[in-house]
Homo-oligomer: A and B are copies of this chain.
Amino acid sequence: MNRAVVLLSGGLDSTTTLALAMAEGFETYALSFDYGQRQKVELAAARRVAQSLGVREHRIALIDNDIFGRSALTDDIDVPKGRSVAEIAEGIPATYVPARNTIFLSYALAWAESLVATDIFIGVNALDYSGYPDCRPEFITAFEKMADLATKTGVEGAHFKIHTPLIAMSKAEIIRKAGELSVDLSLTHSCYDPAPDGRACGLCDSCQLRRKGFGEAGLADPIVYAV
């Protein structure tokens, strides 16, 4: 049974990605990060999802918060609210965190190599575009090339594969796919700025994209929104 490291934030996309990796027959090693994100609800969701789907192992790696620059996800900057999907698609949002996916994938690469695995899954998505440079296919391809050159595994002739099964899917397609795989999406958390009681705000970019996706999929979102 081949092993794969799967990046898991506990959101809709990474949860569906994990389910897809398992459906493909991989023994899965889920990797989440505590990087000083303002809300830890996300890590609780990752734990629920990893347990519910039955991964082989789930690690939450601590990342030094100081290294990341100013971002609405880690600092006291306002998370944008109430933007239309067209507005969201424009430019790089305030929630951009410098080099985040590069660091996440680097950790995944280190863990994969120590597991003698060459498969890494990440739930990046280029449709319903989030505006993050490190979610684009050209970034993923460049990371794969770098990974082969960086490692003993690569020197010995094997190739790392960064799987991005959601890259060309719309949010509605992702939600339908999760349904086909019987993923319990009530376990997931997408909101950038949840209410004190943990409910999703309903207005940040992430909530807007999620709600639009459920609407287009013709399905009811099982999570509760504050607004």
A-side residues, CB < 8 A to B, are: 59, 61-64, 66-70, 92, 96-103, 106-107, 109-111, 113-115, 133-134, 136, 138-139, 142-143, 145-147, 149-152, 154-155
Contact of A142 among B63, B96, B100, B146 (CB under 8 A): B146
| 25 A–B contacts, CB within 8 A, in A order | A59-B66, A63-B64, A64-B107, A68-B110, A68-B114, A69-B113, A69-B114, A92-B155, A98-B151, A99-B106, A99-B110, A99-B150, A101-B150, A102-B106, A102-B109, A102-B150, A103-B110, A133-B154, A134-B149, A134-B150, A134-B151, A142-B145, A142-B149, A143-B146, A145-B146
Complex CA–CA separation, A115 to B68 (angstroms) = 10
Q: Is the CB of A150 within 8 A of B139?
A: yes
Bound Cα distance from A151 to B150, whole angstroms: 20
A96 to B64, CA, bound (A): 23
Question: Residue of B at shortest CB range from A146?
Answer: B142
| CB–CB B69/A98 < 8 A | no
Pair A114/B70 contact, Cβ less than 8 Å: yes
A141 to chain B, nearest CB (A): 8
User: B99 near A113 (CB under 8 angstroms)?
Assistant: yes
Given A99-B113, A113-B99, the answer on whether A67 and B107 have CB atoms closer than 8 Å is yes
Selected contact of A109 from candidates B61, B98, B111, CB within 8 Å: B98
Chain B residues whose C-beta falls within 8 Å of the C-beta of A149 in the assembled complex = 133-134, 136, 138-139, 142
- Find out whether the CB atom of B69 lies under 8 angstroms from the CB atom of A110: yes
A96 to B102, CA, bound (A): 21
> Residue among A92, A114, A150 with the most chain B CB within 10 A?
A150
For A150, the chain B residues whose CB sits under 8 A away are 99, 101-102, 133-134, 139, 142-143
